[in-house]
Amino acid sequence: MTALLLMALHWGRERGHLDSSVQQQAIKSMLALPSQLENLLPRLQTEARTLAERYAKHKGMFFIGRGQSYPLALEGALKVKELAYIHAEGYAAGEMKHGPIALIEPDFATFCVAPHDGLFAKTKSNLEEVAARRGPVIALTNPPKDDLDLRVGEKWVLPEAWGPLNGFLMLPALQLFSYETASYLGKDVDQPRNLAKSVTVE
């Protein structure tokens, strides 16, 4: 993620498409990330543990997001499968109404990655659809401001980072949720079953 952002900044500058103030803001925000994460992690772990205790016994989970939040949703679902052995699916939020929404029920949770970006309003609409079908919702989002707020079952609020750097704060939250869910269920988080981390056969 860091390498891709640096490449984007480089080529944006080389091609004359990037204002110098944007580049300075991006670099300044990237340099602040390590200390920001270090300060945030203890709170994240506590909140992840609380959410894990509430949702670990659900029969399945959706992880949804739009735009750059979609790959984060895929990673969240993957980690829940790998560590906690819970059926979890990652979806682009805009595709929910094309079939997956049929699975929504009170013991099937939807974990939504909903940062304050240009797609927030559409993501909010997806969550309202889930709530209308009595599906529990966990929204990983930023502090409310103006009209950027969610009314859902669980709001997991993280500080807002500059632009695409929001993902650097949301990804550890998703991974900690998976870790704490597995730990709560008594799974071995250091040696997940059936996984091969090196490929020895074709």
**Total of domains in the chain:** 1
Q: Which amino acid is at 196?
A: A
User: Would the pTM count as exceeding 0.85?
Assistant: yes
Report yes or no on 199 lying in a domain.
no
Residue 118 pLDDT: 87
Report yes or no on 101 lying in a domain.
yes
Domain limits for position 130: 57-185
How many angstroms separate the CA atoms of 125 and 58, rounded? Answer: 23
Report yes or no on 172 lying in a domain.
yes
How many angstroms separate the CA atoms of 67 and 133, rounded? Answer: 24
What is the per-residue DSSP string for 141-178? E---BTTB---SSEEEE-PPPSGGGHHHHHHHHHHHHH
Residue 31 pLDDT: 94
How many angstroms separate the CA atoms of 139 and 115, rounded? Answer: 9
Report yes or no on 90 lying in a domain.
yes
Pairing of strands 154-157, 108-114: unpaired
Give me the average pLDDT of each 10-residue run along the chain (202 residues).
90 90 92 93 95 94 94 96 94 87 91 90 88 90 80 87 89 96 94 76 67
Report yes or no on 48 lying in a domain.
no
How many angstroms separate the CA atoms of 11 and 6, rounded? Answer: 9
Report yes or no on 52 lying in a domain.
no
Residue 201 pLDDT: 67
Report yes or no on 192 lying in a domain.
no
Tell me, what CATH number does 64's domain have? 3.40.50.10490
Please list the helix, strand and coil fractions of the chain in percent, rounded to the nearest 5, in that order: 55, 15, 30
